[in-house]
Amino acid sequence: MPKFDQMLEEQKTNNVLWTPSKVIARLVKEINDESSYLYWAYKNDIPVFCPGLTDGSLGDMLYMRSFGNGGGLVVGVVPDIRAINGEAVHASPRKTGMIILGGGLPKHHICNANLMRNGADYAVFINTAQEFDGSDSGACPDEAVSWGKIGDSAKSVKIRATSTGSRSHESSRSITTNAEEEWDLVSTSEELKTMKGN
């Protein structure tokens, strides 16, 4: 990818320390697609954090550029973890909330950032994972409360649905638009367990 070659040159000549969020911002800037939410995040100087940037095709391209040229292209994660955790820690007196579509590494990354501030004030988990397999994806909000990732008095819910299906998008839009009504309707993972088919 020529953009990575250009980034390597900037690293060598300008001592640029690339982070996953800077890589994303650069790629989004170059793609310049107004129909993308990433474009609007870039345009408004909102960082997009991706703890799994090295997974998949982008990781393969980064690997290929890690040879030669004085050590190759380097992407450091520490500034990004400081930035996302700092966002959570310094949010006070404002509240934090999480709407997490899916699970795994991104879910854990966002929840851990909120652990640094004694838990999020609101949480919505939308995924199909189950608790019995012991995965982070399957964990319900009450598990995150036990770790301090969600505050003791927080309003949280897990919606068992695919994150790509229209139902979950409608649910998350409804929850964020009519938060108080939704939270009163389905406020805990225990209540969700009793709502078969929803």
- Average pLDDT for 145-152: 97
Q: What is the pTM of this model?
A: 0.76
Give the pLDDT score at 67: 82
Evaluate the CA torsion angle 169, 174, 177, 180 in order and state its sign: negative
pLDDT in tens, 56-106: 999 999 898 888 767 788 999 999 999 999 999 999 899 999 999 999 999
Give the pLDDT score at 136: 84
Give the pLDDT score at 2: 86
Where along the chain do its domains lie?
2-79, 94-180
Catalytic residue list: 149
- Average pLDDT for 7-27: 95
